[in-house]
Structure 1
Amino acid sequence: MNKVGTSGTVGDAAIASVTIAALCSGVWLLHSAESQAPPQPSAAQAAAVTDSVKPGSPPLPPSPPDRIRIPSIRVDAPLTGLGLTDKGRLKPPPATDKNLAGWYRGGATPGESGTAIVAGHVDNATGPAVFYALGAVKKGSTIEVHRRNGSTAVFSVYGVQVFSDKKFPDHTVYGTAHRPELRVITCGGGYSRGTGYRGNVVVFARLTAAR
């Protein structure tokens, strides 16, 4: 597995998909009679190549993010900084706090040039967690990231896809960007009682406004 770079962007040295496995509990689905698998994106929501090269807003100066809002799925959650294990894997946010997401503090901060990474649990042992409904996000949806300097970076979603663990496109998801990009990630791709979630849901978004 490749390790994450420590520069301002994640770059070609990617967080391999296995890194995100720690975001996938599945315990709730396994033991609750009332459980229901989280929504998954349709093929129509996949990112188009033409969308991925469209210009966005000018980059913002670096500033750590404190909160993420995704109004279309009623997410309004604090963000905590995420570091790496000694094997170069992303440490997930604590699973005990359902409404907590994390951002990779070794990469770009949301709003500056580069690919910023936000990750959160889909569920925990007691039920759905912060990004349970991430697969229901649609193209054109807005994601707001409130930053410590008082500004808000506003991103527009241009793709939502689910990738299997075995064929996770590291470069597509984590690769260097020359404009402000955001990836929001959780588990998905179907659920098996034997192996848990089979992949990850990834939201692709670009900065389109700031306030």
Structure 2
Amino acid sequence: MSKVGVAGLSLAAMVVLTGCGAPAPAAGPPPSAPASSSAAAPEVAVLAKSTPTRVRVPRIGADSSLVSLGLNKDQTVQVPPVTQPMQAGWYDGAPTPGEKGPAIVLGHVDGAGKPGIFYKLRDVAVGDEILIDRQDGKTVRFVVHETQQVAKKGFPTDRVYGDTDRPELRLITCGGVFDKGARSYQDNIIVYATMVE
């Protein structure tokens, strides 16, 4: 397992985005699923660890610096402040973009009564590019190979956080219907991408 590991899968299973999250998996191992659906992706050189500093998703005009996100006391993944809905963050318990494994970038769909950085994430399509700038001066390019809208109850923890045999990226936000009573979105939007250069 990568540094996320089995324990990390359990710890990172909840992605809480202002009342919108992915529930922790039930006790026992997560359901089996392929680690990656990008089997035809070209081989690329794996990069050394380097803190990501910026994310850009040209199709939807998203462009944000990245703040480091760890875990809350309740073992949910931290998110950027809802008062700054245009701020994206990266989960520092996962590989950095360009390292082998899935890097995780989180952003709000909305907040403080305004659209968030990933407000249009549902419009991203297979073949779109995502650019991540790193502290070492490199810009890593990823190409989307899958998008998914999934109920929080069925959040695919193993597919999102599990090991992959190449550098990959996940973008995650809220989606679906907003439950006013629970003050929470019912779904997550997940974008899966593979590094191409």
User: Which secondary structure state, in structure 2, belongs to the residue aligned with residue 173 of structure 1?
Assistant: helix
User: Alpha-carbon deviation of 1:97?
Assistant: 1.5
Which residue does the alignment assign to 2:41? 55
Which residue does the alignment assign to 1:43? none
User: Of Structure 1 and Structure 2, which has the larger fraction of its residues in helix?
Assistant: 1
1:141 aligns with 2:128: yes
1:106 aligns with 2:93: yes
- Residue identity opposite 1:155 in structure 2: F
Residue pair 1:23, 1:186 contacting (<8 A) in 2 also: no
Which residue does the alignment assign to 1:132? 119
Equivalent of 1:21 in 16, 19, 23: 16
Which residue does the alignment assign to 1:203? 191
Which residue does the alignment assign to 2:164? 177
TM-score if structure 1 supplies the norm length? 0.78
1:92 aligns with 2:79: yes
CA 1:132–1:178 in structure 2 vs 1: closer, same or farther (change >3 Å)?
same
User: Alpha-carbon deviation of 1:60?
Assistant: 1.3
User: Alpha-carbon deviation of 1:51?
Assistant: 4.4
User: Alpha-carbon deviation of 1:136?
Assistant: 0.5
Residue pair 1:59, 1:180 contacting (<8 A) in 2 also: yes
Equivalent of 1:10 in 4, 10, 33: 4
Which residue does the alignment assign to 1:80? 67
- Residue identity opposite 2:136 in structure 1: N
Q: Count how many residue pairs are aligned between Structure 1 and Structure 2.
A: 179
User: Alpha-carbon deviation of 1:24?
Assistant: 4.4
The one-character-per-residue Cα deviations of 1:31-75 (angstroms, maximum 9, x if unpaired) are xxxxxxxxxxxxxxxxx9994222342211111000000000001
Residue pair 1:9, 1:114 contacting (<8 A) in 2 also: no
User: Alpha-carbon deviation of 1:132?
Assistant: 0.6
Structure 2's unaligned 5+ residue stretches are 21-33
Structure 1's unaligned 5+ residue stretches are 1-6, 26-47
Q: Distance in 1 between matches of 2:159 and 2:37?
A: 13
Which residue does the alignment assign to 2:29? none
TM-score if structure 2 supplies the norm length? 0.84
Q: Distance in 2 between matches of 1:23 and 1:110?
A: 25
CA 1:176–1:51 in structure 2 vs 1: closer, same or farther (change >3 Å)?
closer
CA 1:86–1:192 in structure 2 vs 1: closer, same or farther (change >3 Å)?
closer
User: Alpha-carbon deviation of 1:173?
Assistant: 1.4
RMSD between superposed Cα atoms in Å: 2.0
Say which is worse superposed, 191-200 or 136-145, in terms of deviation: 191-200
Residue pair 2:142, 2:193 contacting (<8 A) in 1 also: yes
